[in-house]
Amino acid sequence: MVSNLFQSGGTGLPPVELLSLSCARNIRVKLLRTDLIHPLVSGNKWYKLKYNLLAAQDQGYPRVISFGGAYSNHIHALAWAGFNMGLETVGIIRGEPEYAENPTLRDCQRWGMKLHFVDRKTYRRRSDAEYLQQLLEVVGPGYIVPEGGSNRLAVKGVAELAEALCSSESPDYILLAAGTGGTTAGFAAGVADGIRVLSVPVLKQGEFLRDDIARLLAESGVADRHNWQLDLEGHFGGYGRVCADVRSCIERFGLQYKLPLDPIYTAKLMLRLEQLLAEEYFPSGSEVMVVHTGGLQGARSLLV
Ligand SMILES: Cc1ncc(COP(=O)(O)O)c(C=O)c1O
């Protein structure tokens, strides 16, 4: 079955909604709801996977191989998209085989993904050419997509979203969560001149993302307009840490704004947004476009 998941005219621009936060005062806050574009390939995943999977299909690869943690949104979206496009998928998963029973990885297996568990030390070699060669000998030849899907083709897909957004909206800031930096690089590449991209790593010591984002832009052949920056204060304890503030943020936004958030990325982003508004970080009269990048499938395991 070769489907046209990514060829059916794309998704158009996801809904843009006004978010009436009481703490926003004279800042206009809008939400770009990429979480609503597809029930399973949701949020930034759609844009990061699109050109990668089309390339794998066009180049006749039998399978797509990628990397992620046991609750990875990227692995989950890849498994479904691959299944839908008739591509085999292999997930190289950091951690023990017992994770295979969690809801994320159960879905992936249901969609035919083969799981290959590796310890943390091995997982750290995920970009090492020699290791990748050995891996292909074990799992079979395939098209390798890096962790989080972040590469030049992901930047291309996200940049298209940013361009589409800027054809109908003119925010002063784009605010988004970062894990591997691919989505940030895509927005930095695609937004109109004058728009600042403020990227909030959800992991501690996220400074390393500066180099990664600059490298992704260079690999994409995009001149760095220095229109982006990192905000390192939004990790709330570090990657995968779900503190009480994150839990209450999810509850509050659900009740007050009917806005579903995930604990790893988007709830932390909203908490950081509220802090930035309280600190009057944004100049008076600015408009901030907050990107809801999805990730809701992960909440099933992480909020129990
Ligand atoms: C829901 C969600 N939001 C944001 C991100 C961060 O994106 P990136 O890894 O491109 O920085 C991810 C990870 O891909 C994610 O799953």
Report helix, strand or coil for 200. Answer: strand
Q: Given the structure tokens 């659900």, which residue do they identify?
A: 254
Q: Would the CATH topology of 16-43+159-302 be identical to that of 45-149? A: yes
Distance 98 CA to ligand 1 centre (A): 24
Residue 2, pLDDT above cutoff 60: no
Q: Is the dihedral of CA 163, 167, 171, 176 positive or negative?
A: negative
For the chain, domain boundaries: 16-43+159-302, 45-149
State the closest ligand 1 atom to the C-alpha of 48, by its place in the atom list counted from 1.
Answer: 10
pTM of the prediction? Answer: 0.96
Average pLDDT of the chain?
95
3-state secondary structure of 267: helix
pLDDT at 10 over 60: no
Q: What's the rounded mean pLDDT across residues 287-291?
A: 98
Instruction: Collapse the DSSP code of 63 into the 3-class scheme (helix H, G, I; strand E, B; otherwise coil) and give the result.
Output: strand
**Residue of 182, 185, 179, 186 whose CA lies nearest to 161:** 186
Residue 181 CA to ligand 1 centre (angstroms): 8
Topology, domain 45-149: Rossmann fold (3.40.50)
Range scoring the smallest mean pLDDT among 8-17, 219-228, 261-270: 8-17
Q: Supply the residue whose CA is at minimum distance from atom 12 of ligand 1.
A: 179
Confidence of residue 4 (pLDDT cuts 50, 70, 90): low
> How would you write 81-95 as a 3-class SS string?
HHHHHCCEEEEEEEC
Considering only residues 290 and 23, tell me which one the structure prediction assigns the higher pLDDT. Answer: 290
CATH 3.40.50.1100 given to domain 16-43+159-302: yes
Mean pLDDT of 204-218: 98
- Determine contact, residues 225/245, Cβ cutoff 8 Å: no
* Residues 56, 50 contacting (CB under 8 angstroms): no
Residue 102 above 50 pLDDT?
yes
**How many whole angstroms separate alpha carbon 111 and alpha carbon 86?**
10
Q: Which protein residue has the closest C-alpha to ligand 1 atom 1? A: 295
Helix (H) or strand (E) holding 176: strand 173-178
Which residues contact ligand 1 via a Cβ below 6 A? 43-44, 73-74, 148, 150, 177-184, 262, 265, 293-295
